[in-house]
Amino acid sequence: MSRGTNCTAYRWMGAHPTEQDGVAGTHFAVWAPNAQEVCVICDRNHWRHGAYYLNSSDSGIWSAFMPEIGPGETYKYSIRTQSGTVIEKADPYAFAQEHPPKTASMVYDISNFQWKDDEWVDRRRQTNWFEQPVSIYEVHLGSWRRPHDGRPYFSYLELADQLIEYVHELGYSHVQLMPISEFPFDGSWGYQATGYFAPTSRYGSPDDFKEFMDRMHQAGIGVLIDWVPAHFPTDGHALGRFDGTALYEHADPRQGFHPDWNTYIYNYGRNEVRNFLLSSARFWCDVYHVDGIRVDAVASMLYLDYSRSHGEWVPNYQGGRENLEAIQFLKDMNTTLHGEFPGILTVAEESTAWQGVSRPVYDGGLGFTMKWDMGWMNDSLRYIRRDPIHRRHHQNELSFRMIYAFHENFVLPLSHDEVVHGKRSLLSQMPGDDWQKFANLRVLYGYQYSTPGKPLLFMGGEFGQWTEWNHDTELDWALLRFEKHDGLRRYIGDLNRVYRDHPALHQLDCEPTGFEWIQADDAANSTYAFARHSKDRRETVIVAINMTPVPREEYRIGVSDPGFYKEILNSDAAIYGGSNLGNAGGVRAERVPMHGREYSVKVVLPPLAVLMLAIQHPEPEADEESA
C-alpha cells in the first residue's frame, strides 16, 4: 500500500468476513504507522482496549483474523498513540456504519448481491455521452420526499420506485445524488464525509443501495454521485489525527486545514492517502455500479492559496501556487476510472479559468469528462434577476458565454448551491409580478436547454418552489395543485423531450460546428436568436428568445434555408401558464434577406419567452457513381 499506485485497497483493507481453518470470522486491516498498539473493540470485549490485538507490519498496516466476529457486528479501532493516549476511531475502509449520531463501523459482506443491470452497463460502455441528450436531475435523497408515518426518511428501495416514476415522467436521463457516503452531520448535506466506502445508513443497508442502483439502471436511468476528495471533517471518530499524528492530512495548517469549512485537507503527496482516495473513487464504480462521480470543490484542490491570504499558504517546490500533488491525483483518478469503466462520467465542479479540466490527460488536461460551467450559471442568473427594462444595457451577459463555450465539455448547472444560504428559490429570485416570475423562469430553463451544454436542475426547481431549499423537510409538493406550478413541471418535461428528440439540440453540445449566432446584438429589444445543427446537418433548430414582457408581433429572423419551420416549443403556451401567443404550428421561410442570410422567417415572439423552430433538411441526392 505504501509503494506505487493501488486503486483496489478496499479488497483487503477494512473488515472482511471470511473463514480461516474452517472457522468463520472477520479479517481486519487498518493503516496506523505511528501507533504503539491497535485493537478491535466491540460488544464482545465490552469496547475495551486490550482484548483483540492486531499485528503490526513494516508497512504500517495492522491486521489480524478475529474468529466469531461476523456481519452485522459493530466495531471500532482502539489505538494507543506514541504518547500513550488511547483513541477510538471508526474504520476508514468500513463498508457500513451505524446510523448517525452513532459512529461505530459495521462488519458487512458486500459480495452476495445479484445484479440485473448487464444490459445497461453494456450500453453505457458503448455510449458517447458528448453526443447524447444528457439532462440531470439533482437530488438530495433525505429531503426530496419524506414519509408521513413518523419515519424520518424513505428507504433506498422506496425512493427508487418513486424516483423512477417521476424521472420518467419528466424525461431526465440521469439523476445526480448529493453525497451518499456516510456523514455525521445532516447540515453538511454529505459534503463532510466520514465513510468513503459506506453508503449512508439513513436510508438502508449497502445491499439496499445496490438494489436502488439496479432498479434505476433497469429503468434506463443513469445515476451520478457527488464525491468529496477535497477535505474531510474534524470529528473525533474520523480520519483526523488518525493514529495520534497527521496521517491523512498535512501537519502544517497552512496546507492541512481549510478555513472556509473548518475541515482537514488531504495530503495528496502521501502515497497511502492517494491510494485511499483512488480506491474510494473506483469502489463506487466497481461495487455499486454508479455511472459517474461529480467531484466537489475541485478549485480548492488545484490551488495552494485557495481562500488564503499572503503568508497563509506554502508554495510548491517550484515556488508556484498550484497543488502539484492534487493535480496528479486528479489525473490518476480520471485515467483509472475511464480506463477501467468505459462510459462512466467524471464531472468537475471547478470555478476558475484552469485550462483543460475536461481534456484528456494525454493531451495535458485533468481528464474529466465534463466540467460545470459556473460562468454560465453566474452570468445567466445575474442577467435574469434584472428588471427587464434594464436588460438592454446588459445584452452581452448572455452572449459572452459563447466565446468560451467549447473550451471545455460543459454541464450547465442550476444546482442546490443557488437556492440556499439566503439566495431564495429560483422562482423567488425572478423579477416582476407572479406571472412574470414564472415566465422569466421558463425563459431561463429554455435558454439552458437550447444553448450548448448538458443541463442540470436541482429538485424543486422543476415546479417552482417559492421557498429556498430546506434539508430538514421535503419539497413543497402541494404546490402542484396550482396551475402555474404544474404548468412549469409540464414545461420541464416537454423541454426534456424536445431536447432528447431533436439531435440538433444535443449532438454537438461540445463542438462549435453545432452552434451559430443569428443575432446577439438586438439590445434595444433584448432579444437573441441562434441556430443549433445536428451532426449530419439533417436538422436545424432556430432558437429565439425575448427577454422583455413586450410581445414582438412581426419579428423577423434570418435563416439559411427555405422551407417550413415547425414550432417545436413555445414557453408562452397556455399549458405552461403563458399567454398563449404563438405561430399556429410553425412558419415558412421567405426570400427576404435578414441577418446576413438569404431567407428569413417572420414570427410572433411572445413576451418573456423562448421559441424553438425546427426544419428537417432533405438527404443529399446520391451521385451517379455511388448509385
Q: Which of 75, 21, 72 is nearest to 44 (CA)?
A: 75
User: What is the bridge-based pairing of β-strands 61-67 and 23-31?
Assistant: antiparallel
Calpha distance 473→465 (Å, rounded): 13
The verdict on whether 161 is a catalytic residue reads no
| Residue 606 and residue 570 in contact, taking contact as beta carbons nearer than 8 Å | yes
Radius of gyration of the chain (CA): 27
Phi, psi of 541 (to 5 degrees): -115, 125
Q: Please spell the DSSP secondary structure of 227-293, one letter per residue.
A: E--S-B---TTSSTTTTSS-SSB-SSHHHHEETTTTEE-B-TTSHHHHHHHHHHHHHHHHHS--SEE
Calpha distance 516→452 (Å, rounded): 11
The verdict on whether 349 is a catalytic residue reads yes
| HEC readout, 346-415 | EEECCCCCCCCCCCCHHHCCCCCCEEECHHHHHHHHHHHCCCHHHHHHHCHHHHHHHHCCCCCCEEEEEC
Place of cell 395543485: 481
Q: Which of 590, 579, 556 is nearest to 435 (CA)?
A: 579
Q: Which of 397, 395, 620, 624 is nearest to 524 (CA)?
A: 395
Which residue in the list 109, 138, 182, 296 is annotated as catalytic? 296
Which residue in the list 349, 350, 418, 509 is annotated as catalytic? 349
Q: Please spell the DSSP secondary structure of 565-613, one letter per residue.
A: EEEEEETT-GGGTS-----TTEEE-BS--BTTBSEEEEEEE-TTEEEEE
Phi, psi of 302 (to 5 degrees): -75, -30
Q: Which amino acid is at 231?
A: H
Residues belonging to the active site:
296, 349
